[in-house]
Amino acid sequence: MRVVYDKAVVHETCSFRSRALQRTLRIVFKPLLRLTPINERSFAVIQRIDALSGRRKRSPHIMFRSYELGGVRVEEMTHRHGPDSRMTLMYLHGGGFFSGSIVTHRRICERLARKTGAKVVSVDYVQLPAGSVAASVQDAITAYAALVEASEHPDRIVVAGDSAGGYLAMKVAELATRRRLPVPAAILGFSPLLSVDPDREDKGIERIVRARDAYLPVRRIATIRERWLPADGPAIEGYASPLHAAAYIRSPAFFVAVEDEMLRPEVEAMALLLSERGVEVEIHLWRKQVHAFPVLADVLPESEMALQLAADFARRAVGELDREQTVDPHAHEEPLVGEMVPDSAA
């Protein structure tokens, strides 16, 4: 696999399940997304389907508690048998700001609680059509600020998210600096959305592989963006795109991306921008996976590996990794073959 960021860890092998899932999504789900109208009725249907996840039996090994942080509803999970930790991990679910929920993402939060030993706090931020991306950002930073205030160890708060939740995790890191709050001890991003225009190819970012995302239709982004950023809506605090906010991000960052997914070029670009400023970055690129595949830990063995690597990174960031870091025996580092033009992305 060719890479842009010279320290990227490349995971070449993939399971039969991964190949089958990618092919199924490409053949069935992607055409469906191309035809689905982007309107309130579609959002309502998707969110009702998401709510069905709540019928799934909860893990008997997890202690659950629901409450509010700064007026934002959260669900807290603590694993009864995880390693000892004083870490708190704040999780922001993905779903394009109109799907996904703390219910759909319980499994990944449960696994992160087990692997890290942390108290995992999943945030129920506002989504479309009830609020724009600006409102989602405000819920995320409000919950984080309240968590910092309530925590006995504010220096051990890790912020994580997938896709749109990865966008919010990076915004929390940026706004924590702007507001002079303690910054996250680490950021974990699983296929994070790092700009509001990932479909554009004129931002000076080196694209060394054609985007053939398994299920995200690139051509729908422009339409969805109109809902993310309505002309008469509130402005996003700070930069609209975290990719432009690298100068405000000081937290060690762990990224996962898929070889040919639409969001990969900006993940590598962010890795370059942060590492050039001396921020610790660990990035893992995977073959033949689907966007945000770590969420599918019940299905894919690669998801388990990605989450374990992320958990090790988080525990190391807070000084709690008490063993050798997990290594994927099928992974290797790739040499630098591309570059980004920073001035065009600033």
Query: Does a structural domain hold residue 221?
Result: yes
Strands 72-79 and 119-123 come out as antiparallel
DSSP letters for 169-222? HHHHHHHHHHTTPPPPSEEEEES----S-TT---SS----S----SS--GGGHH
Could you tell me the pTM of the whole model?
0.92
pLDDT at 233 > cutoff 80: yes
pLDDT at 322 > cutoff 50: yes
Query: Does a structural domain hold residue 3?
Result: no
**Angle at CA 128, nearest 5°, toward 127 and 129?**
130
In this prediction, residue 339 has a pLDDT band, given cuts at 50, 70 and 90, of: very low
The better pLDDT of the pair 332, 261 is held by: 261
What's the confidence (pLDDT) of residue 343? 46
In this prediction, residue 26 has a pLDDT band, given cuts at 50, 70 and 90, of: confident
What's the confidence (pLDDT) of residue 215? 63
pLDDT in tens, 260-298: 888 999 999 999 999 999 999 999 999 889 999 999 988
What's the confidence (pLDDT) of residue 336? 44
What's the confidence (pLDDT) of residue 334? 62
Burial of 118 (0-12, 13-18, 19+ CB in 10 A): buried
The better pLDDT of the pair 160, 260 is held by: 160
CATH of residue 325: 3.40.50.1820
In this prediction, residue 211 has a pLDDT band, given cuts at 50, 70 and 90, of: low
The better pLDDT of the pair 227, 340 is held by: 227
pLDDT in tens, 57-72: 888 899 999 999 999 9
DSSP letters for 27-85? IIIHHHHHHS--SHHHHHHHHHHHHGGGGSPPPTTEEEEEEEETTEEEEEEEETTSPP-
Residue 205 tokens read as: 């970012």
What's the confidence (pLDDT) of residue 59? 86
> What is the rounded CA–CA span in Å between residue 96 and residue 91?
15
Positive or negative torsion for Cα 270, 276, 280, 281: positive
What is the four-CA torsion angle of 74, 279, 285, 29, rounded to 10 degrees?
30
Query: Does a structural domain hold residue 251?
Result: yes
Residue 159 tokens read as: 């912020």
The whole-number average pLDDT for the span 77-89 is 92
Q: Find the range with the poorest average confidence among 106-110, 120-124, 297-301.
A: 297-301
What's the confidence (pLDDT) of residue 175? 98
What's the confidence (pLDDT) of residue 345? 39
Query: Does a structural domain hold residue 162?
Result: yes
Domain of residue 340 covers 9-345
Strands 253-258 and 281-286 come out as parallel
Query: Does a structural domain hold residue 183?
Result: yes
Positive or negative torsion for Cα 144, 146, 151, 155: positive
Residues 6+ apart with CB under 8 A from 217: 30, 33, 34
pLDDT at 81 > cutoff 90: no
Mean pLDDT, the chain, rounded, equals: 90
Q: Find the range with the poorest average confidence among 17-21, 76-80, 241-245, 276-280.
A: 17-21
pLDDT in tens, 185-194: 999 999 999 9
Query: Does a structural domain hold residue 283?
Result: yes
DSSP-assigned letter for residue 323: S
* Number of domains comprising the chain: 1
Query: Does a structural domain hold residue 2?
Result: no
Query: Does a structural domain hold residue 4?
Result: no
